[in-house]
Amino acid sequence: MADQHVRETEHEITVQAPAAVVYRLIAEVENWPRIFPPTIHVDQFERGEGWERIRIWATANGEAKSWASRRSLDPERLRIDFRQEVSTPPIAAMGGSWVIEPLSEGTSRVRLLHDYRAVNDDPAGLAWIDEAVERNSRSELAALRENVESAVAEDELRFSFEDTVEIRGAAEDVYDFIDRADRWTERLPHVASVRFDEADAGLQTLEMETRAKDGSTHTTKSFRVCRPHQRISYKQVTLPALMSLHTGYWTFTDQGGGTTTASSQHTVVLNPANIAPVLGPEATVADAREYVRTALSTNSRATLGFAKQYAERQQEAI
C-alpha cells in the first residue's frame, strides 16, 4: 500500500472557565450551532456507553459540507476523540481530539488536535484542507472561549421562541412550501428576491432580500438542513446589527385526521454593542429582545400563514 501523507495539526486557547464546564459544552452537540460559527446543524443518530455517532453540517472555506463522525467521550480525562466515518472530498480521512486541561480552578487550556489526508494525496486538495482546518480551528476555539466566558451575560442576551399554526392539510404539502424557497418570490409578498442553491440533497444555501413594513429591504443568507416532511433546520450567517447569532428550525407534525401542526422556532443572541446605535441611547436589552422577536415572528407568522393557505388548497383539490 502506498504511503499516505497524513498531516497533523494542533491549536490551543486558554479559557477563563472551569475545565468541566468547557468539556460539557463540547460534549453536548446541541450547543454547537450556537458556539461554533462554522456549524449549521448536528444530529446524534446513535449512542452507546462512552461513544456516539453524529452527523455534522458545517461550512468550510465558505462552502457547506456534511459528514458523519464517531466520537469517544471520556469525562474523567476531559477528552473527546473524533473520527469522520465518511469524509467529503477533497478530504480522504479526518480525525482528532479535544483535550481540556485545568490550569486552575477557574482556568482551562483547550487543545484541538487534527490529523487528515487528501484524496489521492492531491497537493491542491491538501492545501484546501489546511486552510479550512486552520480557519475553522481558530474560529471554533475563539468562539468557544467567548461563549463560555460570557455565559452569565448571555443568559439575558439569549432567548428562544416559537410560533405555531394548525393546518387542515398534509404535512408533506406544508413542508413543500417551506422547502421550495426558490419559489418564495411568487408565494411570499415580503420576499423581494431569492438566490437558492441545493448542491447536495437536503443541504441548501438561501440568500434572500426581504421587505419590512416601512418599505426598507435587507438581505440575509442562511444554510438549511432538510429532513423531508419533518424538519428544516437553519443557521443565518449574515446577521442584522442587533443579532450576533440566529438559528432556528421549521417542524411539521402530522396530527392525523388530515391535520398538521407547523412551527417556526428561533434562537437568538443579541449584540449588546449595537442596541443603542440601532434603537437609541435609552434602549434596554428588553427593548431589543422585543424588537427582534417582533420582527422575526412577523415574518415567520406570515410565512406559516401562506404555507397554511397553500396546503389547505392542495387538500381541497383532492
pLDDT in tens, 177-202: 999 999 999 999 989 999 999 978 89
Other Cβ atoms closer than 10 A to 110: 24
Give the pLDDT band of residue 288 (cuts 50, 70, 90).
very high
Q: In angstroms, rounded to a whole number, what is the distance separating the alpha carbons of residues 212 and 302? A: 12
Region(s) of the chain under CATH 3.30.530.20: 7-149, 157-317
List 206's β-bridge partners, or say none. Answer: 196, 222
Say whether pLDDT at 3 is over 50: no
Say whether pLDDT at 151 is over 80: no
Q: Please identify, in words, the CATH class of the domain defined by 157-317.
A: alpha beta
Say whether pLDDT at 1 is over 60: no
Say whether pLDDT at 252 is over 60: yes
| Residue 152 pLDDT | 47
Q: Who has greater pLDDT, 255 or 60? A: 255
Average pLDDT of the residues of the chain: 92
Q: Is 177 exposed, middle or buried (0-12, 13-18, 19+ CB in 10 A)?
A: buried
| Residue 4 pLDDT | 59
| Residue 318 pLDDT | 66
Give the pLDDT band of residue 87 (cuts 50, 70, 90).
confident
Q: What are the tens digits of pLDDT across the range 231-249?
A: 999 999 999 999 999 999 9
Which among 316, 301, 68, 282 has a CA at the least distance from the CA of 170? 316
Superfamily holding 7-149: START domain (3.30.530.20)
| Residue 2 pLDDT | 41
Q: In angstroms, rounded to a whole number, what is the distance separating the alpha carbons of residues 135 and 112? A: 13
| Residue 173 pLDDT | 97
Say whether pLDDT at 254 is over 80: yes
At what angle are helices 19-27 and 123-149 packed, to 10 degrees? Answer: 130
Q: What angle do CA 13, 21, 12 make, to 5 degrees?
A: 10
Which among 14, 28, 6, 30 has a CA at the least distance from the CA of 96? 6
Grid coordinates standing for 50? 462512552
pTM score, two decimals? 0.84
